[in-house]
Chain A
Amino acid sequence: MIDAIIITVKLAGVTTVALTLLCTPLAWWLARGQSGWLRNCVEAAIALPLILPPTVMGFYLLLLLSPEGLFGQFFDRGLAFSFTGLVIGSCVYSLPFVAQPLTASFRQLDPQLIQLGQSQGLNRFAVFRHIILPCCGYAFVAAAALGFAHTVGEFGVILMIGGNIPGETQVLSVLLYDEVESLQYANAHRLAGGLVVVSWVILFMLYRWQRGRGGFHVGA
């Protein structure tokens, strides 16, 4: 069980960091980009994991990441049934949960503030640090928390592309499935209860923090 906890936390952590890095420029383009129809196409694609059954996503990912697949062929044994494959699958599946809060937050940003920062001689990094991050910091925290919590709770995609290899791709939700299948209800209770409590605490802290601060203060 300890192995499964470590793999789950590691998977959720790596996925959250990767998605935050990937989604920041993506959300910026979605919120403020010029191209109308292309943006709508990408937005719709990003939102697909919200409505598709995880098995559909898992099926296509399995085909892509298998040793003969479009991406998997570039790796010795493919990417399916490996931790890297799990990270890719989790990133695709949790993408809307990270991208959408960031996009919504960037849309509300006053364009005059960006123009002001640029006129004050700030480079892109400084504009991000002094203007975008203080305005949208809460959205980054919300996006990261949602991404993390959603990855912890992922099941279908992981089962499809990760298999169930203890110590490598077996995460808590899959282990729980195993325990129920083998009628180990006591273990299943511990896992299920633990996941409920952890997820609830993450969401509680997020809402509590959002209400308490109403914004994001840098070094105040």
Chain B
Amino acid sequence: MWELKLGAHQIRWPRGAWVGISGPSGCGKTQLLKQIVSGQSGQLQLEYNNLLERPQALRGIGWAAQGAPLWPNQRVEQQLRALAERHKSENWLALAAEFQVLPLLEKPTAILSGGERQRVALLAALLCADKLLILDEPVSALDQQAASEILMALRRAADQRNLSALLVSHQWRDLAASCDFCYQWQSRQTLDINRAQHELTEQSPVQAAALWPVQWCQDRRQWMAAGHAIETGPLPTTINRVSIDAHEVSIARRHPGPSSIANTLQVEIGKITALDKTSALLTLHWGELRLYSLITHRAVRALDLTPGLGVFAQFKAHAVKSPQA
């Protein structure tokens, strides 16, 4: 179990899990990560051992700083090879291939583009990390697809070595693609990432709809987002509750087939009340919904209708009203 105590912040998360830190710009997320890295205050405990009391070389923290700084005036390979040797990482070339860094090895770090720098910086952080990755806007210069790919590659490599991570990103998609938990800066809560996503959806459905293309998945009977099996909860903007006044309700034992003017519901007979010599009133149940049908005693006998029997009710819609109306 990890536990971070720093200033007003306290985060607990299981070993190997990734925590995304979300909060408004300028709230101090980067500063928090820098404080962890410098280790001048606070506690970062793994199984009740405070890592910050150790010398920096023995903490096992890999830091990908904001803006992806690299070793100046050197080739990418010089930095990565030196770090791999220092941290005894033998498969660094395989990782470089996975992070699409191989073509960059011969280039000086100064001429890399923003996205290339971030890939190299992420790989460098991974080489240095033994226990924890600290990632500050690690894929902000990459396009959406490349960002997801690189984060998933990083997550795979981290999972193989049981590395945890603290990730700061302004893009919710980065957190959704890689994290297990979300630390909400303002409420100081650590939530399961799905729960956090659910809350965001409920509090601000318009923003949620802007973040993810939301689709109704018939098989799972769930709202799905961006192809992820994510419980988004009901979206108030897409559900419209109405009441329907039924008109001319008729009863059939078999499904009457498609009709252009009548609606058909499969209902259960609740009660049969005799009104006079010729007429009877049927109370029909469809879940919580009640339908009433006025038919003849003769029809009751002919169709052999009894309470509890399942039948098909056909009706015309008389009026469609919203509940407030």
Contacts and interface: CB of A to CB of B under 8 A. Distances in A.
Contact of B73 (A116, A119, A122, A217): A217
Nearest to B108: A220
Interface stretch (B78-86, B148-156, B181-189, B236-244): B78-86
11 contacts: A112-B69, A113-B69, A115-B34, A119-B128, A121-B56, A130-B74, A130-B79, A134-B71, A217-B74, A218-B74, A219-B78
A131 B75 contact: no
User: Which of B37, B73, B108 has the most CB atoms of chain A within a 10 A radius of its CB?
Assistant: B73
B307 to A, nearest CB: 76
A110 B75 CA distance: 19
Interface in A79-133: 110, 112-113, 115-123, 126, 130-131
Contact of A130 (B38, B75, B82, B108): B82
A125 B110 CA distance: 23
A167 interface: no
Interface of A: 110, 112-113, 115-123, 126, 130-131, 134-135, 137, 215-220
Contacts of B78: 218-219
Contacts of A117: 71
Interface string B57-88: 11001110101010111110011001100110
Contact of A220 (B63, B71, B74, B87): B74
B179 interface: no
B124 interface: yes
Interface of B: 34, 37-38, 56-58, 61-63, 65, 67, 69, 71-75, 78-79, 82-83, 86-87, 108, 110, 124, 128
Given A120-B83, A220-B73, 5 more contacts: A112-B69, A120-B62, A216-B73, A217-B74, A220-B75
User: Which of B38, B61, B72, B83 has the most CB atoms of chain A within a 10 A radius of its CB?
Assistant: B72
B74 A115 contact: no
A130 B67 CA distance: 19
A220 B107 CA distance: 10
Contact of B108 (A115, A122, A217): A217
A125 B86 CA distance: 13
A130 B71 contact: yes
A53 to B, nearest CB: 41
A154 B62 CA distance: 51
Contacts of A219: 74, 78
Nearest to B83: A120
Contacts of B86: 120-122, 126
User: Which of A110, A121, A126 has the most CB atoms of chain B within a 10 A radius of its CB?
Assistant: A121
B108 A110 contact: no
B65 A112 contact: yes
Contacts of A217: 73-74, 108
A122 to B, nearest CB: 7
B72 A120 contact: no
B72 A134 contact: yes
A120 B69 contact: no
A116 B74 contact: no
A75 to B, nearest CB: 43
Given A116-B63, A217-B108, A135 B75 contact: no
Nearest to A136: B72
Nearest to A120: B128
B72 A113 contact: yes
Given A112-B65, A130-B82, A121 B73 contact: no
